[in-house]
Each structure stands twice: as structure tokens, then as C-alpha cells.
């Protein structure tokens, strides 16, 4: 995670946020719909859709919900017209934030994001104001139990990945964005369990936040994640594990 707070803790924190608002299915459905809209409804020919379906199944989404989301994306069923949007912002402690959204009303979405930022010590940035601090990457996790690091590195590189980072209980595999789906399937074909395959904005360097600024930042990130239109939030912070675990 390029010096970012540990993958597992970030995932645990975000999962807790999703559970509190019961909105995980909403986020997954929008991703399936957008993937089908952009690349067609056949998972065999649409890697992004394959990954979205895998993530939905991993979260126990019913098959009929998945099929309905695909059909809304392809236009077979009437549904809301979604578009993707990316917003850049600053948070407490000078932390840079990238906010990915899928929305049917960008005007509403940007107003909601500005409101959350202003109430929680952040402010909206202009286009490219913080994007240069991040690299767009594919990321996925492989549980470390019983896995040889050297063997995984070899398999990951053969599957088209760029890097493997050992984070103790997990290995985090990084790819070029276009290679995410092929690398994931390559690792699975080699017998590896793969979790949380996604596209992310990975910080090139991090800003350390502590104390009140750390707590305010976590409050802001949670407020942004609570917005229905927001799909994913990435930020270039690091903080003590205790501060993150206590969020």
C-alpha cells in the first residue's frame, strides 16, 4: 500500500462503515450496472463485469440482484442512468483525497461531497490538484496462510502483476489497471485465493496524521463513504494502528 495504513485494517474499517449503513449491496449493484453499461452484459467478454460479479458473490448478493443490475446496465430493464465521476479534495492534516462516485445526478453529488468536506475539516480541490500524488493501480489481496512469498511473486509476475508486498497476514498484489482482471484470473488459475480485486488510487507518498487531526480525518472519510453516490475513497495518510482501530 505504498506506506499506506495496513490493507487489512483499511478493509476492516470500510467494511464496518458499510455494515453500519447497510449500503454494500448498493455500491456493488452500481458497479455491476456501470460495468455492464460500458462493456456489455457478457462477463466472458467484460473483465470489469466479471470482477464486479465475483465481488458481489463474495458478499453473498443474491443471483437475481446481480442479473437485474446487469440488465439495467445493458438497457434490457429500465433503470437509472448512471455516470462515473472523480473528485479531488484535501482533508485534515493536509491529506489528499480521491473520491470515486457513480451517480445519476453529478450536481447533487458534488454538493453532498462539498457539504461533508466543509463540516469535517476538508475542502474540495480543483481537477488535478491532488491526482499527481497518486498512481492508478489494480490491487488485490492474497491470504498469506500457507503461501510461499517467492512462489507467489513468481506466479504474480507470470500473471502480469507488477509488485507483491508482504503485509503479514496478507500479500498485496499490484498491477497496471488494464491488467487487474487478467492477473486476478491468472493467480486463481494457479490455485491462489484472491480477495478484494479493485482499481485504486495508490499514494506515491503519505502524510502522517496524529491526535485530533487523525480522528477528524477518519470522521471525514466515514462521512464521505456514507454517501450513496460514493463508491470508493482513497487518501494518502498514515496513522498509528491504534488510532485506526479505534475509529
pLDDT of residue 80: 83
Domain that holds residue 60: 7-74
pTM for the predicted model, two decimal places: 0.84
| Judgement on whether residues 23 and 143 belong to the same structural domain of the protein | no
How do residues 35-74 score in pLDDT, each as one tens digit?
Answer: 999 999 999 999 899 989 988 998 889 999 999 999 999 9
**pLDDT average per 10 residues of sequence, the chain (247 residues):** 46 57 80 96 92 88 95 91 95 96 96 97 95 95 93 96 91 93 94 90 92 93 91 90 67
State the pLDDT at residue 6: 54
Identify whether residues 98 and 180 lie together within a single domain.
Answer: no
For 196: left if phi > 0, alpha if psi spans -120 to 50, otherwise beta; the answer is left
CATH number assigned to the domain comprising residue 170 = 3.30.70.980
Q: Which residues contact 179 (CB under 8 A, 6 or more apart)?
A: 138, 160, 161, 162
Does 11 share its domain with 121? Answer: no
Indicate whether 99 and 219 sit together in one domain: yes
| Pair (69, 188) in one structural domain | no
Residue 101 and residue 182 in one domain: no
121 and 156 belong to one structural domain: no
What's the structural domain count of the chain? 3
> Could you please report the per-residue DSSP string of 140-204?
EEEE-TT--HHHHHHHHHHTT--EEEE-SSEEEEEE-GGGHHHHHHHHHHTT---EEEEEEEEES
Amino acid at each position: 500500500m505504498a506506506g499506506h495504513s495496513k490493507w487489512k485494517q483499511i478493509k476492516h474499517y470500510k467494511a464496518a462503515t458499510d455494515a453500519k449503513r447497510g449500503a454494500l449491496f448498493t455500491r456493488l449493484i452500481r458497479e455491476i450496472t456501470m460495468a455492464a453499461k460500458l462493456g456489455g452484459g457478457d462477463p466472458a467478454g467484460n473483465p470489469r463485469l466479471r470482477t464486479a460479479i465475483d465481488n458481489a458473490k463474495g458478499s453473498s448478493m443474491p443471483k437475481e440482484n446481480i442479473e437485474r443490475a446487469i440488465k439495467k446496465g445493458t438497457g434490457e430493464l429500465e433503470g437509472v442512468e448512471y455516470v462515473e465521476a472523480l473528485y479531488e479534495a484535501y482533508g485534515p492534516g493536509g491529506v489528499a483525497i480521491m473520491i470515486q462516485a457513480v451517480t445519476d445526478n453529478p450536481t447533487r453529488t458534488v454538493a453532498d461531497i462539498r457539504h461533508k468536506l466543509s463540516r469535517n475539516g476538508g475542502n474540495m480541490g480543483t481537477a488535478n490538484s491532488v491526482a499527481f500524488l497518486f498512481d492508478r493501480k489494480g490491487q488485490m489481496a492474497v491470504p498469506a496462510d500457507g503461501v510461499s512469498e517467492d512462489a507467489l511473486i513468481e506466479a504474480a509476475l507470470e500473471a502480469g502483476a507488477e509488485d507483491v508486498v508482504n503485509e503479514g497476514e496478507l500479500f498485496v498484489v499490484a498491477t497496471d489497471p488494464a491488467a487487474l482482471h487478467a492477473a486476478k484470473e491468472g493467480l486463481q488459475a494457479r490455485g491462489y485465493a484472491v480477495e478484494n480485486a479493485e482499481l485504486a488510487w495508490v499514494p506515491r507518498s503519505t502524510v502522517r496524521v496524529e491526535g485530533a487531526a487523525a480522528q477528524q480525518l477518519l470522521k471525514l472519510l466515514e462521512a464521505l463513504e456514507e454517501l450513496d453516490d460514493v463508491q470508493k475513497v482513497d487518501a494518502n495518510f498514515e496513522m498509528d494502528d491504534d488510532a485506526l482501530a479505534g475509529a
